[in-house]
A and B are shown apart, each in its own frame.
Chain A
Amino acid sequence: MRCSPNSRWFWVVSTLVLLCLPFATDALLGRGWVRIADFALLYIMLALGLNIVVGYAGLLDLGYIAFFAVGAYNYALLSSPQFGLHWPVWVILPLGALLACGFGVLLGAPTLRLRGDYLAIVTLGFGEIIRIFLNNLNTPVNITNGPQGVSMIDPIAPGGFSFGATHELFGFSLPSVHLYFYLFLAFTGLVIFVSRRLEHSRIGRAWMAIREDEVAAQSMGINTRNVKLLAFAMGATFGGLSGGLFAGFQGFVSPESFGLLESVMILCMVVLGGMGNIAGVVLGGLLLALLPEAFRHGAGPLQQALFGHILIDPESLRMLLFGVALIVIMLVRPAGLWPSGKRRRELEDEGAATGGGA
Chain B
Amino acid sequence: MTTVTDTLLELKGVGKRFGGLAALSDVSLHIRRGEIYGLIGPNGAGKTTLFNVVTGLYQLDEGSFTFAGQAYARCKPNVLAEAGIARTFQNIRLFANMTALENVMVGRHVRTRSGIWGALSRNAATRAEERAIVQRARELLSYVGIDRPHQTLAKHLSYGEQRRLEIARALATEPQLLALDEPAAGMNATETESLKGLMQTIRASGVTVLLIEHDVKLIMGLCDRVAVLDYGQKIAEGIPDEVRTDPAVIAAYLGGGEE
Q: Could you tell me which A residues sit within 8 Å of B by CB distance?
A: 194, 197-198, 201-206, 208-209, 212-213, 215-224, 230, 234, 342-343, 345-346, 349, 352-356
The 7 closest A-B CB pairs, nearest first, are A221-B110, A221-B81, A201-B119, A353-B155, A212-B95, A216-B93, A353-B96
Q: How far is the CA of A224 from the CA of B98 in the complex (A)?
A: 18
CB neighbours (8 Å) of A218 from chain B are: 76-78, 81
CB neighbours (8 Å) of B170 from chain A are: 220
A-B contact pairs, 14 of them (CB 8 A): A202-B130, A203-B115, A206-B106, A208-B98, A212-B95, A213-B94, A215-B57, A218-B81, A221-B86, A221-B173, A222-B109, A345-B153, A352-B155, A354-B155
CB neighbours (8 Å) of B43 from chain A are: none
Contact flag A212-B78 (CB < 8 Å), given A205-B102, A219-B57, A221-B173: no
A-B contact count (CB 8 A): 121
CB neighbours (8 Å) of B105 from chain A are: 205
Residue contact A209 to B155, C-beta cutoff 8 Å: no
CB neighbours (8 Å) of B154 from chain A are: 353
Residue contact A230 to B116, C-beta cutoff 8 Å: yes
- B166: nearest chain-A partner, CB-CB: A216
Mark contacts of B108-134 with chain A using CB atoms, 8 A cut-off: 1 yes-contact digit, 0 otherwise: 011110111011101000100110010
Residue contact B98 to A342, C-beta cutoff 8 Å: yes
- B112: nearest chain-A partner, CB-CB: A202
Q: How far is the CA of A194 from the CA of B119 in the complex (A)?
A: 9
Further 12 A-B residue pairs, CB within 8 A, beyond A217-B106, A220-B172, A223-B78: A201-B118, A202-B109, A202-B129, A205-B106, A208-B102, A212-B98, A221-B78, A222-B110, A230-B116, A342-B153, A343-B97, A354-B97
- A216: nearest chain-B partner, CB-CB: B93
A205, A218, A353 pick with most chain B CB within 10 angstroms:
A353
CB neighbours (8 Å) of A345 from chain B are: 97, 153
Q: Could you tell me which B residues sit within 8 Å of A by CB distance?
A: 55-57, 76-78, 81-82, 86-87, 89, 91-98, 102, 105-107, 109-112, 114-116, 118-120, 122, 126, 129-130, 133, 153-155, 162, 169-170, 172-173
Residue contact A219 to B120, C-beta cutoff 8 Å: no
Contact flag A206-B122 (CB < 8 Å), given A345-B97, A353-B154, A356-B93: no
Interface of A is mostly: helix
- A218: nearest chain-B partner, CB-CB: B77
Contact flag A220-B115 (CB < 8 Å), given A202-B130, A212-B96, A353-B92: no
Contact flag A213-B116 (CB < 8 Å), given A206-B106, A220-B173: no
- Shortest C-beta distance, B162 to chain A (Å), equals 8
- Shortest C-beta distance, A352 to chain B (Å), equals 5
Residue contact B107 to A220, C-beta cutoff 8 Å: yes
- B110: nearest chain-A partner, CB-CB: A221
CB neighbours (8 Å) of A222 from chain B are: 78, 106, 109-110
Residue contact B82 to A353, C-beta cutoff 8 Å: no
Residue contact B95 to A208, C-beta cutoff 8 Å: yes
> Which residue of the partner chain, among B109, B110, B120, contacts A205 with CB atoms under 8 Å?
B109
- B169: nearest chain-A partner, CB-CB: A220
